[in-house]
Amino acid sequence: MMDPVPAPESEAELVRRVRELSGRSLGEVAETLGLSVPEHFRHAKGWVGQLLEKALGATASSRAAPDFELLGVEMKTIPIDERGIPQETTFVCTIPLQTVHQTDWEQSRVRKKLARVLWVPIEATRSVPVAERRIGSALLWSPSFEQEQALRGDWEQLAGLIACGDIDSITGHLGTVMQVRPKAANAKARRNVRDEDGLLMTALPRGFYLRISFTREILREHFSLPI
């Protein structure tokens, strides 16, 4: 067993560490941590995120807390193609279907999660073996006023529909920068919910996800990528 990497004590230290990882391959970093590298992610979908958490000294594990609790910073790996464009949406958090109606944007999980994010781009070109894929240069980000307004608008619309008991009317098509999609072991999973009249029902668990167009813009602003 390798010694665990200690939690960074400041944003500056976190940034220094992630800079040292920039340009290194996933295989190299895995080796320093004593981890084996999967051939593909079919049975290891969160592997890259967990690798970077260990490498940087994240503390929250799978709890509903920021990855770097002391700093209030969330870390997100983001798979990018050769042009630097994200290839997947970004999971934000699960939706508390029971209580979302008694919450406002200011108190929402989404706002808290996205208040401070360390984006770590990861080369995700399918033709490159996983172990050879490189870590990009990271970006410590907080939403701009406009970005927060956009997130808030989507959150209010989508949370409003859930509060009305209209959960099953929500599809991934709704939302400009953020969407609601299933977040479950499989399509049969069920969670207790109450509709507007307090009647008990069950529903497929859902989560909030950031659209590619939104994260693409975050990266584009910072790295001046092609439009």
Partner DNA sequence: CCGTGATCATTC
Partner DNA sequence: GAATGATCACGG
CA distance 66 to 59: 8
Strands (E), the chain: 74-80, 90-94, 117-123, 139-141, 178-182, 191-194, 200-203, 206-210
- Binding of DNA at residue 83 (CB under 7 A)? no
Does residue number 10 form part of the binding site for DNA (CB under 7 A)?
no
Helix (H/G/I), strand (E/B), else coil: 10: coil
Residue 63 parent element (H or E): none
Nearest approach in angstroms of CB 50 to DNA is: 6
Convert residues 161-180 into a mask of x (bound to DNA by CB under 7 A) and - (unbound): ----------xxx-----x-
Decide: 86 and 225 in contact? Cβ < 8 Å.
no
Only segment of 14-22, 46-54, 146-154, 193-201 that touches DNA (CB under 7 A): 46-54
Contact status: 138 vs DNA (CB under 7 A): no
Residue 48 interacts with DNA (CB under 7 A): yes or no? yes
Instruction: Give yes or no for residue 55 binding DNA (CB under 7 A).
Output: no
DSSP state of 91: E
Q: Is 209 helix (H, G, I), strand (E, B) or coil?
A: strand
DSSP assigned state of 34 = T
Q: Binding residues for DNA, per CB under 7 A?
A: 40-46, 48-50, 52-53, 60-64, 67, 74-77, 79, 88-89, 91, 93-94, 96, 109, 122, 124, 171-173, 179, 181-189, 191, 204-205, 207, 211-213
